[in-house]
Amino acid sequence: MSLLILSHREVEESKGDEAYEGLNEDIIVAQGIIFFAAGYETTSSTLSTLCFNLASNPEVQQRLVEEIRSVMDGHDGKITLDNIGEMVYLEAAVNENLRMWPPAISLSRTCRKDCEVIAKGQLAGGLTELYPRFPQIARGLVIKRGMRVDMPIYASHYHEDFFENPEQFQPERFLKGNAEAIFPYTYRPFGGDLHTQLVKYMHYN
Report the length, in residues, of the chain.
Answer: 205
CATH code for the domain of 65 = 1.10.630.10
Instruction: Tell me the residue range of the domain where 117 lies.
Output: 112-145
Average pLDDT over every residue of 164-174? 96
By the 8 A CB rule, do 124 and 118 touch? yes
**Amino acid 16: pLDDT:** 61
Which pLDDT tens digit goes with each residue over 49-85? Answer: 999 999 999 999 999 999 999 999 999 998 988 889 8
Please indicate, yes or no, whether residues 60 and 128 belong to a single structural domain of this protein.
no
Please indicate, yes or no, whether residues 54 and 137 belong to a single structural domain of this protein.
no
Confidence of residue 33 (pLDDT cuts 50, 70, 90): confident
Tell me how many domains the chain contains. Answer: 2
Q: How far apart are the first and last CA of the chain?
A: 15
Which pLDDT tens digit goes with each residue over 98-139? Answer: 999 998 888 888 888 888 766 555 554 455 555 555 555 545
